[in-house]
Structure 1
């Protein structure tokens, strides 16, 4: 088994924690979103977080071996509790109430976009700090995945709120007169 530097181990631990929190959030968002397409999107994102864990495992295992990966993964997964973002989602839903079919989905999208922004920042920071090409490659690959998720969520958020277009002429009045 190869010796792995402490920075790479820390990257792996934080990455596992981040992906597990994302998965837990997306699973809960799928439960509370009433729209079937919204449920499907959040479910797919939860599965993609599993895919990110597989990528992390492959890269780390190629560097260190499966035994060290398993020990780190088991330790981090053993700490798994409710994701703090799930609590934030529940609070947003309670604050909004159940008055709109899309309210829970919109709240989930907004929180998910912030989560993805933080993940992008985390992985971009790791890319800058990485000491080895493999660690840099891992961090950049995951940052790119998170950017894709953010773009998808932004599009969905705009779509749910009917804001996803530019006006080239006045289609409505701004003076509250219809």
Structure 2
């Protein structure tokens, strides 16, 4: 059982790395400053997820238990040095290169976050330990907030031709 959890965490880390790479590429692709900031913000949160999930995976592999999200992020500080500094091309970045538009970036990001929500929802359903449920629930909530933000931006771009100047909700406030 523990091996499956570790395997799932490694899948999650790789998925978050792909998301991080995509969001950096998207922030470099879009022209609008607000759009750049949206993708930069998302890339920072993906990097935080990478750090937390890696620290938890390392703890479990070493025979320890689940760490709280906050502790995992704090411990992940040393993990961040091993974070993906050099951007690697992946399916998401290839799709963006084929159609390097702002709307394409938002569509790809939305699809990615929908998959992340489904993935973490599945992990949460099979979670056994309370600490595991708490961490996965927190990450799931953050992914849902990413999805809300991207859907809102998509609607704004499609309806007005512009990125939204303000959000109807704050991603940061919903995280607290």
TM-score by length of 1: 0.70
Deviations 1:53-105 (A, max 9, x none): 222244445545599x99xx99996xx84221111111223xxxxxxxxxx11
Matched with 1:44 is 41
Residue 151 of structure 2 corresponds to residue 154 of structure 1: yes
Shift of 1:106: 1.0
Query: Alpha-carbon deviation of 1:131?
Result: 3.1
Q: Distance in 2 between matches of 1:15 and 1:74?
A: 18
Which residue, out of 106, 119, 124, partners 2:121?
124
Instruction: Give the RMSD, CA atoms, in angstroms.
Output: 3.3
In 2, are the aligned partners of 1:116 and 1:146 still within 8 Å (CA)?
Answer: yes
**Hey, what does 1:21 align to over in structure 2?**
18
Count of residues in correspondence between the two structures: 147
Whole-angstrom CA distance in 1 between matches of 2:63 and 2:90: 27
Supply the distance in 1 between the matched residues of 2:52 and 2:115 (Cα, whole angstroms): 20
SS at match of 1:161: helix
Gaps of 5+ in 1: 94-103, 164-178
1:54 is aligned to 51
Distance 1:75 1:37 in 2: 29
Partner in structure 1 of residue 94 of structure 2: 87
Partner of 1:114: 111
Deviation at 1:138, TM superposition (A): 2.7
Match of 1:7 among 4, 12, 16: 4
State the structure with more CA Rg: 1
Q: Matched residue of 1:82: which SS?
A: coil
Question: Where does structure 2 lack aligned partners over 5 or more consecutive residues?
Answer: 65-74, 161-176
Tell me if the contact between 2:10 and 2:54 (Cα under 8 Å) persists in the aligned partners: no
Q: How far off is 1:162 after superposition?
A: 2.0
Closer/same/farther in 2, CA of residues 39 and 66 from structure 1, 3 Å limit: farther
With CA pairs under 8 Å and 6+ residues apart, which has the higher RCO, 1 or 2? 1
